[in-house]
Amino acid sequence: MMPERSREGSRRIFARACTLMPGGVNSPARAFGAVGGQPVVVDRGDGCYLWDVDGNRYIDYVASWGPLILGHRHPAVIAAIEEVLRHGTTFGAPTRWENELAELVVEAVPSIEQVRFVNSGTEASMSAIRLARGYTGRDKIVKFAGCYHGHVDALLVQAGSSATTLGAPSSPGVPEGCTRDTLLLPYNDSDALRQAFKQYGSQIAAVILEPIAGNMGVVPADREFLQAVRSLTAQYGSVLIFDEVITGFRVAYGGAQSLLGIQPDLTVLGKIVGGGLPVGAFGGRREIMSKLLPEGKVFQAGTLSGNPLAMAAGAATLRVLRDTNPYAALDRKTERLCAGLQAAAEEAGVEHVIQRVGSMFTLFFRSGPVRNYADALEANTDRFAAYFRGMLERGVYLPCSQFEANFVSTAHEDADIDATIEAARAVFAALP
């Protein structure tokens, strides 16, 4: 058994945080609500490791929820931020650093001819929806249960309903009016989509989806479903929006769309594109993007949008990814990790299925396959919580919910993967 780790510092700081901030956090998942126990208060990160304020070290598979594909404090990213710092922090005027990141994005992502930078994935999907509505002159949007697009009012509809329903908001504070034009459909269900288009086609401004879902755990879209999404939106003149906030630069340099060979009209980016600083982006066909103010009439703005430090961190990250092309190696490394976890779970007779695309994966505590939100919700979350706490106790920091993606970075070495599998073997054997 591992010695009991001291978490006194984390306990003290988090207790104070709870008096200062609701739940002690600035984003709810961090509070460990789904798994119980004491959140780890982080002191620093380096490569694939995190250290808490008590000096405990963890192998990190959260990667700040996706951005850190190069690990913590990658030298090229730190150097780029330091270089820009000598010029200032923000100007609210055009700078060359915006061009640098825009050029990299346009070059990388097949369907993006023009891009606009914002400060989060939420802002990016909110703006993309507004642009799609402005461009089409229509109001309705289609979203899929289990897909997350940030905390945009109109997209906070996810109830695990498998029927075609006009969306009911899933948070207090979102008026019904905000979601009246949101059609909620089950993921990977082409028939439901066909039905929705038959009924509302001429009123649908946009269909938004994660082409590989990461926010109900990893759930890839079927090829047949994606083809139906693409052909129906084209047929009815609706805008197809891929939310690639997680998958962009993660599953391939050009995102899921380059991996799957399907081109959306608009793409939403975040996480990796900011290299660990707050950046979101949306982009696509010039004809659509030109409707944005000041070229067009669709309003969208941001005091800190295109922030030089954030642009530099994103550009440095993308350059490393472009120049080193780590995707095959990431795939092999993650495959080895998943094979090890699977063998360990089988040994212990733990019912599970692992779903993986490249360096993102989820181990679901149910037998597979998981094709939609309803499937995901059948996972045994008590078992997940015990697994999570056991891994944390053994120095492995996993996302603190069953319905999240684990991320492997270029900084994870074979020894880290082996240590993770070893820890999992011990934890699975002791699961209730």
Q: How many CB atoms lie within 10 A of CB 348?
A: 16
* Coarse DSSP helix, strand, coil percentages of the chain, rounded to the nearest 5 percent: 40, 15, 40
Check binding of 146 to ligand PLP (CB under 6 A): no
Q: Which of 24, 39, 47, 121 binds ligand PLP (CB under 6 A)?
A: 121
Stretch that binds ligand PLP, among 40-48, 193-201, 207-215, 424-432 (CB under 6 A): 207-215
Total residues contacting ligand PLP by CB under 6 A comes to: 15
Q: How far is CA 383 from CA 127, 143, 366, 421, 429, in A?
A: 38, 30, 10, 17, 12
Cα–Cα dist 351/349, whole Å: 6
- Which residue lies nearer to ligand PLP by CB, 61 or 428? 61
The identity of residue 192, as a single letter, is A
Find the shortest distance in angstroms from Cβ 176 to ligand PLP.
23
- Which residue lies nearer to ligand PLP by CB, 7 or 250? 250
**Position of minimal CB gap to ligand PLP:** 121
- Longest pairwise C-alpha distance within the chain: 64
Helices (H) and strands (E) in the chain, counts: 14, 17
- Which residue lies nearer to ligand PLP by CB, 245 or 345? 245
Asked if 116 contacts 292 with a C-beta cutoff of 8 angstroms, the reply is: yes
Find the shortest distance in angstroms from Cβ 347 to ligand PLP.
33
Cα–Cα dist 362/345, whole Å: 13
Check binding of 243 to ligand PLP (CB under 6 A): yes
Find the shortest distance in angstroms from Cβ 245 to ligand PLP.
4
Find the shortest distance in angstroms from Cβ 284 to ligand PLP.
16
Does the annotation mark 198 as catalytic? no
DSSP characters over 121-158: HHHHHHHHHHHHHHHHT--EEEEETT----S-GGG---
Check binding of 217 to ligand PLP (CB under 6 A): no
Stretch that binds ligand PLP, among 3-11, 209-217, 250-258, 395-403 (CB under 6 A): 209-217
Does the annotation mark 291 as catalytic? no
Cα-based angle 273, 131, 227 (whole degrees, multiple of 5): 75
- Which residue lies nearer to ligand PLP by CB, 169 or 211? 211
Which entry of 271, 373, 375, 416 is annotated as an active-site residue?
271
Check binding of 149 to ligand PLP (CB under 6 A): yes
Cα–Cα dist 163/169, whole Å: 16
Closest CA to 170 of 185, 155, 156: 156
3-class SS of residue 52: strand
Find the shortest distance in angstroms from Cβ 294 to ligand PLP.
25
Find the shortest distance in angstroms from Cβ 155 to ligand PLP.
9
- Which residue lies nearer to ligand PLP by CB, 243 or 416? 243
- Which residue lies nearer to ligand PLP by CB, 311 or 424? 311
DSSP category for residue 92: S
Find the shortest distance in angstroms from Cβ 62 to ligand PLP.
12
Cα–Cα dist 164/126, whole Å: 23
Find the shortest distance in angstroms from Cβ 64 to ligand PLP.
10
- Which residue lies nearer to ligand PLP by CB, 255 or 308? 255
Closest CA to 282 of 300, 309, 295, 297: 300
Stretch that binds ligand PLP, among 114-122, 173-181, 373-381, 415-423 (CB under 6 A): 114-122
Closest CA to 243 of 229, 228, 224: 229
Does the annotation mark 271 as catalytic? yes
Stretch that binds ligand PLP, among 74-82, 208-216, 301-309, 328-336 (CB under 6 A): 208-216
Hey, which residues between 254 and 293 contact ligand PLP (CB under 6 A)? 270, 280
Check binding of 122 to ligand PLP (CB under 6 A): yes
Check binding of 242 to ligand PLP (CB under 6 A): no
Which entry of 58, 61, 148, 397 is annotated as an active-site residue?
148
Asked if 135 contacts 121 with a C-beta cutoff of 8 angstroms, the reply is: no
Which entry of 52, 243, 375, 416 is annotated as an active-site residue?
243
Closest CA to 313 of 145, 135, 109, 82: 82
Stretch that binds ligand PLP, among 105-113, 132-140, 146-154, 393-401 (CB under 6 A): 146-154
Cα–Cα dist 327/73, whole Å: 20
Closest CA to 206 of 136, 289, 293, 282: 136
The identity of residue 337, as a single letter, is L
Cα–Cα dist 325/49, whole Å: 22
Q: Which residues bind ligand PLP (CB under 6 A)?
A: 120-122, 125, 148-150, 210, 214-215, 243, 245-246, 270, 280
Q: Which residues are catalytic?
A: 148, 243, 271
